């Protein structure tokens, strides 16, 4: 059983929903982002999504685009991101870590080398937003063979014909993008999300986590009530962008996590 599957089993046994937090590796610098990452489990985060900065983040809104730019300017690389995970594992062997980003840095490194390094570092799963299911041979299937979960995005436009293709080789959980558009845009609406969550859960047999448009403890709680959990990225990255100390960012995260866990 992967760490991700084990975490969902534990949450189910506790009658709790999952809270997932996204931060950009290296934003605003390596040490600050690592300090935040290290504090996320104590703040109530069940799974960490760690962004890999890339020069052309086409699925991301301005908040995360700027986070990636800050990270790249501070010298963050895929190698340093893997080192962050390795360092995190020195004190935490149970919290799942998912790398989220784009295929180009992985392709540049070489798929086989990347997967071996990611597994050795302690990465549990991948979200690669620009590789469609038609390209599963590129990374998805090799990742699964290497013991890493490959997490897919489903959206409001993923219809009945497309959904089986999207979830066919998905593992870990399905990330439901609750709104059309880029990250950090409109607010997610539980009454709109609920039917799609049920439809995706039925098709995949996996936990369905809802992200995009969740900015407050109240919205995290409302969304988690109709899903298996909530993921927050842009709102957390916005706090980091304000130059707040790690302790303040983690307090903000804890409030969001508390909201999701009350669902």
Q: E strands along 85-146, which residues?
A: 97-101, 125-128
> For 155-189, what is each residue's pLDDT tens digit?
999 999 999 999 999 999 999 998 755 454 556 67
> For 107-149, what is each residue's pLDDT tens digit?
999 999 999 999 999 999 999 999 999 999 999 999 999 999 9
- The CATH number covering residue 187 comes to 3.20.20.70
Indicate if the alpha-carbon torsion angle 122, 127, 131, 137 is positive or negative.
positive
> For 15-59, what is each residue's pLDDT tens digit?
999 999 999 999 999 999 999 999 999 999 999 999 999 999 988
Question: Residue 181: what pLDDT?
Answer: 54
Asked whether residue 228 carries a pLDDT value surpassing 60, the answer given is yes
The pTM (predicted TM-score) of the whole model is 0.96
Single out the residue of 111, 26, 110, 128 nearest to residue 69, CA to CA: 26
Structural domain of 18: 3-261
Question: Which residue has tokens 């760690």?
Answer: 50
Among candidate residues 10, 31, 35, 49, the one labeled active-site is 49
Residue 117 and residue 128 in contact, taking contact as beta carbons nearer than 8 Å: no
Asked whether residue 79 carries a pLDDT value surpassing 80, the answer given is yes
Instruction: Quote the number of domains for the chain.
Output: 1
Catalytic residue list contains 49? yes
Among candidate residues 27, 60, 136, 239, the one labeled active-site is 60
């Amino acid at each position: 059983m992967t760490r991700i599957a084990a975490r969902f089993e534990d949450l189910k046994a506790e009658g709790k929903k999952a809270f997932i937090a996204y931060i950009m590796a290296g934003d605003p610098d390596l040490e600050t982002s690592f300090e935040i990452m290290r504090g996320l489990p104590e703040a109530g985060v069940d799974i960490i999504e760690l962004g890999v900065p890339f020069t052309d983040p086409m699925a991301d809104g301005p908040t995360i685009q700027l986070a990636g730019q800050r990270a790249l300017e501070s010298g963050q690389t895929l190698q340093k991101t893997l080192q962050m995970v390795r360092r995190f594992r020195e004190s935490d062997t149970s919290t799942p870590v998912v790398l989220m980003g784009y295929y180009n840095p992985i392709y540049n490194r070489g798929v086989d080398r990347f997967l071996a390094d990611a597994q050795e570092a302690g990465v549990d799963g991948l979200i690669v937003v620009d590789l469609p299911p038609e390209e599963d041979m590129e990374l998805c299937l090799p990742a699964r063979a290497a013991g890493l979960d490959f997490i897919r995005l489903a959206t409001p436009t993923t219809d009945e014909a497309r959904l089986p293709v999207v979830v066919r080789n998905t593992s870990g959980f399905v990330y439901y993008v609750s709104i059309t558009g880029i990250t950090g845009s409109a607010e997610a609406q539980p009454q709109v999300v609920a039917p799609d969550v049920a439809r995706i859960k039925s098709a995949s047999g996996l936990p369905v986590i809802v992200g995009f448009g969740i900015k407050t403890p109240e919205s995290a709680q409302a969304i988690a009530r109709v899903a298996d959990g909530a993921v927050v990225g842009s709102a957390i990255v916005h706090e980091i962008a304000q130059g707040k100390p790690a302790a303040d960012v983690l307090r903000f995260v804890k409030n969001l996590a508390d909201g999701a866990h009350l669902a």
